[in-house]
Every structure is written in structure tokens, then in C-alpha cells.
Chains A and B, each alone.
Chain A
């Protein structure tokens, strides 16, 4: 596959969850008709507030969740509804790094055991070479001296070191695509840069594609080639990182930028309420309408389509041209 072709293709992805609404079965849609592509070696940063559906998208891509509608194609294989053997096989291609390095490692297993598991499970190398591969992986993520690290338990490592173990474990199967769900948000400030730099290095060395899930626009800009802004389960805006930060078009992106510490926007926030978005199935109009300062009647009736405003810059707003 050439570099310019998409490695991950998501088309009209919908995830719905049943909820009990006054004893009637109802559904919410945390992810609603989301389509995007990620090229090999590309980092797509997925930005949104809690409840926007960003982690749900990440889980659907790894098939921890099964999508309700739409298709996900990774490589040239449709993985939307695969099961058992095929699913195990798929995990060699795609892996996940979780937010909490304290919860994602088993406290009673050594680092060596953590890394040996995926290698054995997928029978990647002969058992004699397993040990060599573990050493290589630990060196790769900067956990040296290797011999010492191998025998340690997670509690003997700091948060940043644990996250490096989680990354090494994800790399063990030699994947092409990683979903990183807020990998630095639980780490100390002085440690975060190291993890971001490591992931950047890995992307270059292995031509890895990333879905980088975060709520922090600054790190999204640093690590992401493109940024996709999510609100209420729908894509509001997608653009290259610098375009999105310099020329935000969607009112929600503008609100996010204004609220980020260190932004140059001072004064009142451009929002009209702080109501959370309605995720119920059957809602009408733009999910951001209740908070949008530019709202008009069309916004409550009709869902805005995600349209290309300039090359590579997509916006879902009825008033993109007026706001630009």
C-alpha cells in the first residue's frame, strides 16, 4: 500500500447504547455518523470534551466495541463485525494505549511477563527469541538498563515509565496503527513531553498511524498532523493542525480555543449556555445549537453537513461562509 492511501477508513460510524428512560427502552448515540480516514504514518488528533464520544470511537476502531452502523476498514480488511480468530488476527495490526498506566498493567506481573504475553499469544517469534525481542522493545521505549527493568513490577516504576511499558507492549506485535487514548493526561508535566517525543519518534521509525485522543488542543497541535473536533458524537471540524488553530471556523472550535489556558482570547467565552449536548436518538439539528452564539432556526431543524471549506478543511456548520 502506498503512503498516500488511507490505512484506516471509517465510514458513517454509529455507536448506540441502550438506556432506561422511564422504563422505556431508549437509545443514545455517543457516536453519530462519523467518517474519516487516517493515512499510514499519519497522526489524527481527536479532540473533544468528556462525553463527546472520542473514547467510544477509539474503542470501536479497536473493536473493543462493536459498531451499530457504518463500516471500518483497516488495511484492506473490513473489520466492522469480525469475530474470534479474525479479531485476534486484527489485533496484530492495531493496538491501544490507555489513559491510566496504573490501571492498564497487572500489579502482580513483571514487566517481562507483560511483554512476553502478546509475543507468545500471537506466536510472533520462536520462544528462544522472545527474550531478545523483549530487550529490543524495552530499549526502543527508553527503559534502560533493560536487564533491571525486565524483572520489575509495575509498582516499582513511575507513571511515565509505566506508560512506556504500555507503549512497548503495544509495539510488541509490530502494529501499523495505534489508538492512544489520553496517554499523557495522567502524567506529571515534566514527564509528558518525553512520552509525546517517544510517540513522535515511533511514528517516524515505524511509519505508524495514530489516532491520538485528547482534550488538550496544545498537545493535539504538537503531535497531530490533523485535528478532528468532536461534539455530541459528531464531527464539527477537521483540518491540518496549524489551520485549525490559526483559522478555526466552527463556533465550537472557537469556543474550545478561547477556553484553552494560554490562548490569546480574553473576555467572556463565546457561548450562550453550558448545557451538555443531547445524545438521544432522534434529536434534530446541530448538537451545538443550544450553546452557539450564532444560532438560527435552521440549526435546530437541520443537521449541518460536513463540507469542505478549503482543501483539507472540513466544517459542519450552516454558517461557515458567513463566519469565515
Chain B
């Protein structure tokens, strides 16, 4: 595959939840492209649709949620056109996911070894016991856990070790894409940092792409090359992680978020939150869905839905930039 063929291509994706009071659109016509060996950060508050999008990509939406429009292509294949058998083979082999809660991602009554073996065997049934053992040991070395823990049960491991095991299982079959949904949110900062460093290291040697979902800007800026900011089901800005600081050109929501976090090193900072609360998806505001909370809102914002305007890197979906950037 050549460098510029995307491994993941999301086009015009919409996802809705059917509720008693009608359908709620959690993801609204989103486009996103992930290239080989790239790390994209996806940032947003709870309810912004970032996890829903990840589940749609994994084709894991259940119950009341369904894709209502658009397409998702993984390695050039539309994953919603695969039949069950193909999907089963495809998932985890090419496309894996690391969930937020390591305790619920692991089976509490199975040893670590058994869980790694099961994952591999379901895709490579011909693999010998010896090969399995070797691969499991390799994986544990990769996430820097002592091999003796192959015989451990999840409850015998600390939170950080469990999350490392989950990562090891995710990369067991050499996937091309790994989706990480808040992989370190429940962990202490020191553990978080060492796991992130390891993820970056493994990503370099194993050469996969990562869609990294988080609510923490400073963390995403360190991990990802490009960052997508999501609000009320839309990606409102796509930018380079190096420009992710105050003073650069940003969507007012991005600026608001940047101003909302106290900086560790800045002197005498004044932080201000964003007024109001994230919108109720059942009754989105007219026009730009951010306008009731935006301190730069103009009359136009209440009426007209903004379109993405291209910037030097990425785009911003805001009327403020309609003059300069051309429509994407």
C-alpha cells in the first residue's frame, strides 16, 4: 500500500439512536481520513459523538444505534458490505480497539495467557501451541510486563498492567488500525505517561495507524500528528497538533477548551470555562450548534449552518472564517 492510500476513510457518516422521543443524531455527516502509520487525535466532551463514531467504525453499534448515512472504508473495503463471516475475519485482524475500561475488556475468570491464545486462535486456528506461547511472550515483552504474568488472572494485576494487556491483545494479530478510546483515562499520571510512551514506541515498530480518542488536549497534542475536535456530532475543526495552542487560528470552541484548562507551566493564568452546557442532541440549536455558547456569535450563526473552510492545515467549520478560506 502506498503512503497516500488511506487505511480508514469515513465519508459523510451519520449515526442515530432511536429513543422513545424520536431519533437522535449522535454523529452528523462526518468525514475523516486516516493514513498509514498516522496517529489522529479525536477530542470532544462527553456526548460529542466520539465514542459512537469509534463503535461505528468497528461495526459494534448495537440495539438502538444505527448508521443512517455515509460510508466507512477500511483498507479500501466498505465494512458495512461485509457479511458476518468476512467481518469476523476482518475485525481484529486488520482493525482492533482498546477500550477505556480494562477490567471490563478482560475476562475475569480466564488467565492472561488464555485470553491472548483465544484471540490469536480465533483467527489463526492452525497455529501450534509453541508458536502461540512464543507470540504471547513476545507481546508481553512489547508492553513490558513480566512473562510470569501470563498465568495471572486480571484481578491479580494493577490497573496499568491490565490496560497494557488489553493493548497487547489488540496488537496480537498485527492490525493496520487500532482505535484507542480513552485508553489511559482511569490511570494515574505516571502510569499514563509510561503507557503512552510505550504505545508510541510499539506503533513505530509495528507500523499501524491509531485513532486516539480523548478529552485531554495536552495529551492528544503529544500523541497525535493531526487533531480533530468534535462538538455535538460534528468535527468542527481539524488541525495540526503543533498549532494546538492559544493564539493560533481556531474554532471558538477549540479556543474555549484551550482557555478552560489550567496550564502547568504558565504564570498567573486566568482560566475561563465555556458558558452554558453541551447541547441536548434531541433539540440542537439552529444554525451553528455552538452559537448559544459562543462569545463571537453573529446573527448569521443562528440561521445558517456553517460549512468547513480550508486552512493551511485541515479546516475550521465556522462563519468567522468564511471570508478567507475556500469551501472544502
- Interface residue A101 (Cβ < 8 Å from any Cβ of B): no
Determine if A215 and B189 form an interchain contact, defined as CB atoms under 8 angstroms apart: yes
Whether A218 contacts B215 in the complex (CB less than 8 A), given A161-B277, A190-B45, A190-B257, comes out as no
B274 contacts which chain A residues (CB < 8 A)?
A: 190-191
Contacts of A320 in B (CB 8 A): none
A318 to B152, CA, bound (A): 37
List residues of chain B with CB within 8 A of the CB of A158: 277-278
Min CB distance B46 to A, Å, is 6
Minimum distance in angstroms from B274 CB to a CB of chain A: 4
Which residues of A from 196 to 219 have beta carbons under 8 Å from B?
A: 196-197, 215-219
Closest Cβ of chain B: how far from A152's Cβ, in Å? 14
Judged by a CB distance under 8 angstroms, whether B197 is at the interface is yes
Name the one of B218, B263, B273 contacting A194, with C-beta atoms under 8 angstroms: B273
Q: Quick one: closest A residue to B280, CB to CB?
A: A158
User: Please, which residues of chain B bring their CB within 8 A of the CB of A245?
Assistant: 264-265
Nearest Cβ on chain A to B290's Cβ, whole angstroms? 11
Proximity string of chain A (278-296) to chain B, C-beta cutoff 8 Å, 1 when within and 0 when not: 0000000000000000000
The distance in angstroms between the C-alpha atoms of A197 and B265, with both chains bound, is 19
Cα–Cα, bound, A219→B260 (Å)? 11
Query: In the complex the two chains form, what is the Cα distance from A259 to B189 in whole Å?
Result: 6
A269 to B170, CA, bound (A): 25
Q: Judging by beta carbons under 8 Å apart, are B192 and A262 in contact?
A: no
| Bound complex: CA A271 to CA B194 (Å) | 10
A269 proximity list for chain B (CB < 8 A): 190, 193-194, 197
A222 engages B190 (CB within 8 Å): no
Q: A190's contact among B193, B218, B265, B278, by CB below 8 Å, is which?
A: B278
Q: What's the nearest-Cβ distance from chain A to residue B95, in Å?
A: 27
Q: Roughly how many angstroms separate A259 CA and B256 CA in the complex, as a whole number? A: 25
Given contacts A158-B277, A160-B277, A276-B158, contact A190 B216 (CB under 8 A): no
List residues 140-199 of chain A with CB under 8 A from any CB of chain B: 158, 160-161, 188-197
Beyond A219-B262, A258-B193, A276-B158, whether A193 also contacts B218 by CB under 8 A is no
Which residue in A49, A195, A218 is a CB contact (below 8 Å) of B190? Answer: A49
Cβ-based interface call for A236 (8 A):
no
Please indicate the chain A residues that have their CB under 8 angstroms from the CB of B158 in the complex: 276
Find A197's partner among B46, B222, B271 (CB 8 Å cutoff). B271
Q: Is the CB of A262 within 8 A of B218?
A: yes
Which chain A residues have a beta carbon within 8 Å of chain B's beta carbons?
Answer: 49-50, 158, 160-161, 188-197, 215-219, 221-222, 242, 245, 255-264, 268-269, 271, 274, 276
Kindly list the 4 A-B residue pairs having the minimum CB-CB distance in the complex, ordered from nearest.
A193-B273, A262-B218, A222-B262, A259-B193
